[in-house]
Amino acid sequence: MTAARWTGLGNGTAGKIWYRALTTYMTSGTTYPQARTASIKAATDLYGAGSTRCAAVEKAWSGVAVAPTATTCGGGTPPSGSNLLSNPGFESGAVTWTSSTGVITNDTAGTPHSGSYYAWLDGYGSAHTDTLSQTVTVPATAAAPKLSFFLAIDTSESGTTPYDTLKAQVVNGTTTTTLATYSNATPGGYAQRTLDLSAFKGRTVTIKFTGTEDASAATALCGSRVPPAFPGLGCRPLCGGGAGVRASSLPDPT
């Protein structure tokens, strides 16, 4: 008999996955198969269905003879509502995403809804551009692929002229499509934003957020992925008049 071998998760990652499974998906009557399902869902929430961490959770349960359930990390077409991104909640820190320096952070000047990390674009009160992006394949069989997130806008600007903007974009080869533009002209608390990705079915594209700030008053545009699968994000303008475009668990193409 040959023993199976796999790379462990590490105590920190395992603890995050187990805590989310316990607090979100499990009850006092949860069985071992249900615990397997719960922890796979938690790993998918935190790190994405295609992540090595989710795969490690599956292997760990199989290693102790708990059989697979209908919930898996995937490998084929993901089920409706699954998040295709890795590290969607930023809880692994600045990995799997491509971003400007310092965008993914656990700085205590900002307040994530849950967890420790969030993404923070701009907010310097001077001319500046920050970006945050990740490449993903949108399944050709997806019925209605969407990019969904919550957005709150807090600004030191006045009036209706859009000085500071956040663009939600899709990069497909050499073409960049702006799905929506948000700005200081429409400040307010969190509101759900859902953008259609149907035009990109069957393609490998880059989901990109571009925050552009002018040289005067700062604007905070705060975003988070739509629940229930992932946490939201609360945000505050920075001290000293600064603010930012901040995001937690942003995109969810399904």
86-104 per-position pLDDT tens digit: 777 777 778 888 999 988 8
Q: How far apart are CA 115 and CA 87, in angstroms?
A: 12
The C-alpha R_g of the chain, in whole angstroms, comes to 19
What is the pLDDT, as a whole number, of residue 125?
74
- HSE at residue 152, side-chain half, CA atoms within 13 A, is 19
Confidence of residue 37 (pLDDT cuts 50, 70, 90): confident
**What is the chain's mean pLDDT, rounded?**
73
Higher pLDDT, 198 or 142: 198
147-180 per-position pLDDT tens digit: 877 666 767 777 888 888 889 999 999 999 999 9
pTM of the model: 0.60
59 burial via Cβ count (<10 Å: 0-12, 13-18, 19+) = middle
Q: How far apart are CA 132 and CA 113, in angstroms?
A: 19
Confidence of residue 81 (pLDDT cuts 50, 70, 90): low
175-208 per-position pLDDT tens digit: 999 999 988 888 776 567 788 888 998 899 999 9
Would you say 169 and 210 are in contact if contact means Cβ atoms under 8 Å apart? yes
Would you say 206 and 133 are in contact if contact means Cβ atoms under 8 Å apart? yes
* Span 21-29, average pLDDT: 88
SS3 content of the chain, % helix, strand, coil (to 5): 20, 30, 50
Question: What six digits make up the tokens of 85?
Answer: 């991104």
Q: How far apart are CA 89 and CA 227, in angstroms?
A: 11
